[in-house]
Chains A and B, each alone.
Chain A
Amino acid sequence: MHRRRIVIIGATSALAERCARLWLEQGPAELVLVGRDLEKTGRVAMDLRVRSPQSSVSERTVDFQDPAAIGALVASLCAAAPVDVALIAHGLLPDQSACQADLGLCREALLVNGVSPALFAEAFAGHMERAGGGTLALIGSVAGDRGRKTNYVYGAGKGLLTRYAQGLQHRLAGTGVSVVLILPGPTATPMTAHLKGKGGPPLADADAVARTMVDAIEKRRPLCYAPGKWALVMLILRHLPRCIFNRLNI
């Protein structure tokens, strides 16, 4: 049986880690985990090896802001064997007001959430197009659907991915390559830990969101809100007239 080859960029992110576990539950696979920190990525890999001793799990590190390094890494991963699924999962939820006060932080958030994942996506897209197949999955955010005063720096970075995925889907239509854009709502992960325990927005269960993601990747759905209710919420929010929207404290 063909063992699926799955590459996860930003493998220490909570949602990516949960997706990896779900994939290994389905059966042995070949997993490549890409992170910034080798030890931290190694801890994720160790866990996955206990969960699926028959799978092959390896770790790689790269500078997530270095286009040449990204290009070289993706080329070497794709040269070894065709990649069935590439999940690009990294992100950073910055404090909005801190970004307004510090342009360095603002730039960092835009780069990590928008530019860096787009570069990975661009690199994979070329190799997958030449190989004639593969699924490229990107994690955007509902925050990217419409800018809001409480988190538009994050939202703008994630929104970049929405446009990028649309463009790739247009370019790759009719080829064997699928581009899946996943837009999670607020989810209980380390990234949102400061929202818990405070009566903030209800956070979705990370496992349930990961299940939705894995299912969308399986079915090669071009767009997937997770949990699904966000499709409706964002449909309304996107179309809310500005005169009303601007009065909302969200």
Chain B
Amino acid sequence: MISSWGRLSRAEHAVRYLADRAAAPGQLRGAGPGVCFGMGRSYGDVCLNPGGALWDMSGLNRFIAFDPETGVLTCEAGVLLRDIQRLFVPRGFMVPVNPGTQLITVGGAIANDVHGKNHHRQGSFGDHVLRLRLARTDGALIDCGPEREPGLFCATVGGIGLTGAILEADIRLRRVAGPFIDAELIAFANLDEFFQLSDASEGTGATGKASAGFEHTVSWIDCVCGGGGRGIFMRGNPASATCGPLPKGGRLAVPFVPPVSLVNSLSLRLFNTLYYGLKKRAAGPSLVHYEPFFCPLDNVGHWNRIYGPRGFYQYQSVIPRENGREATQAMLGEIARSGNGSFLAVLKTFGQRQGLGMLSFPRPGVTLALDFPNKGAATARLFERLDAIVREAKGRLYLAKDARMPRTLLESGYPRLAEFLNYRDPGISSAMSRRLLGV
């Protein structure tokens, strides 16, 4: 029985394990329709194919080569970002783009073109892929990259696994002095302050000139109290320090699925008030290890269980900057009125880069991400209201998080969709592709 991270469904799949990169093309030839599955960390149905075939990539977890001169790492698609970090940070290299969890595969990072707190500087994951090897279900094995087969490459980056199975990739790692980040927390009272802080920190202020600025920025936003706009702005730069506080070894875990969601209007109010208060008091600079800085929740095993047996949705939108303030305010207003929302509400401005993938999520603007316990029709109605705001503001939703967006919103949000469809592998189908693309 396989679920994705949102735990909205649990279904039987015919799992096929790909564990040898030489044998994989043969295993995939004529095997479909199925879809690749890595760590199952996407929230919705992008990695699922209920009742059908699922190609488990987690066994393709070998490194192939590393060049310490250029920082280029060649590895199989099932290697975890965590394993790259743990091996290479001590050697002075780091994954260039760190999403909110390291417990994802390289293939998944490419197929969802994931982004991190440094989007305004480094773009998304696909921007650092120099080559990938794609196995199609017709037996073809194709190497592509920004220069070689660029069409197929741009369809595959962010292509939610529908163009073939990524078997291996060349990724350019970044040089770092050590594992630490010079981090700073700043409390803000409303969205105007948030945007001022973002502009000042990302070097995209009124002058338009890149200033010294910060490599990483992200905010936690309080979606229930304080009028829906206060929050904690976090920014940081790679530190030159080589010693500092190490992450705590102890690993917590949610041991079982509680019978009901532990996230409700009461617990939310309590948590958000406490969290805001505590972080506000802790405001100021500090030296932080990259693991808690990038992925604070990786230390809490199975945290998705707190939403109870019905699972949860994550709703992540990006809104073009010119409409960003009003749309974000409007969405926060709807969420506050609904009494739903989550501990984990994240707000961040993206940089000027358009994602290179045809279906890449990041684009210039502001992104808001929130978890919602699944309350059936009530949640669906809230999402419809949020969809209307996103559509009106010419925004889009993140496919890696989605389990329910209507097809029209995909079409309005992703103008390169028609171009993308030319590159699909007809032997690949997922719950998401059938829901949003018909096949």
Residues of A within 8 A of B (CB): 12, 14, 39-40, 43-44, 46-47, 50-51, 189-190, 193-194, 196-199
Contact across chains for B21 and A43 when beta carbons are under 8 A apart: yes
Knowing A193-B16, A197-B13, the reply to whether A46 touches B56 (Cβ < 8 A) is: no
* Complex CA–CA separation, A61 to B12 (angstroms): 39
Question: Digit string of B261-301 for contact with A (CB within 8 Å is 1, else 0)?
Answer: 00000000000000000000000000000000000000000
Contact across chains for A197 and B19 when beta carbons are under 8 A apart: no
Knowing A46-B62, A51-B87, the reply to whether A193 touches B15 (Cβ < 8 A) is: yes
Known pairs A196-B56, A197-B14; list 15 more (Cβ under 8 Å): A14-B59, A43-B22, A44-B62, A46-B65, A47-B64, A50-B63, A50-B75, A51-B87, A190-B17, A190-B59, A193-B16, A197-B1, A197-B12, A197-B15, A198-B1
With a CB–CB cut-off of 8 A, which chain B residues contact A50? 63-66, 75, 87
User: Residue on B with the closest CB to A44?
Assistant: B62
With a CB–CB cut-off of 8 A, which chain B residues contact A196? 15, 17, 56
Chain A residues touching B, majority SS: helix
Chain B residues touching A, majority SS: strand
* Complex CA–CA separation, A189 to B16 (angstroms): 11
B54 located at the interface, meaning its Cβ lies under 8 Å from any Cβ of chain A in the complex: yes
B2 located at the interface, meaning its Cβ lies under 8 Å from any Cβ of chain A in the complex: yes
Contact across chains for B63 and A190 when beta carbons are under 8 A apart: no
Contact across chains for B12 and A46 when beta carbons are under 8 A apart: no
A-B contact count (CB 8 A): 51
* Complex CA–CA separation, A40 to B62 (angstroms): 12
Q: Tell me, rounded to whole Å, the shortest Cβ–Cβ distance linking A193 to chain B.
A: 3
B185-223 with Cβ < 8 A to chain A: none
Residues of B within 8 A of A (CB): 1-2, 12-17, 19-22, 54, 56, 59, 62-66, 75, 87
Q: Tell me, rounded to whole Å, the shortest Cβ–Cβ distance linking B301 to chain A.
A: 11
Q: Tell me, rounded to whole Å, the shortest Cβ–Cβ distance linking A15 to chain B.
A: 12
User: Residue on A with the closest CB to B86?
Assistant: A25
User: Residue on B with the closest CB to A191?
Assistant: B17
Contact across chains for A40 and B22 when beta carbons are under 8 A apart: yes
Contact across chains for B63 and A39 when beta carbons are under 8 A apart: no
Nearest 3 interchain pairs by C-beta = A193-B17, A197-B15, A47-B62
Q: Tell me, rounded to whole Å, the shortest Cβ–Cβ distance linking A21 to chain B.
A: 9
Identify A43's interface contact among B12, B20, B56, CB under 8 A. Answer: B20
With a CB–CB cut-off of 8 A, which chain B residues contact A14? 19, 59
User: Residue on A with the closest CB to B54?
Assistant: A197
Q: Tell me, rounded to whole Å, the shortest Cβ–Cβ distance linking A181 to chain B.
A: 26
* Complex CA–CA separation, A39 to B15 (angstroms): 25
User: Residue on B with the closest CB to A18?
Assistant: B61
With a CB–CB cut-off of 8 A, which chain A residues contact B1? 197-199
With a CB–CB cut-off of 8 A, which chain B residues contact A44? 62
* Complex CA–CA separation, A46 to B22 (angstroms): 14
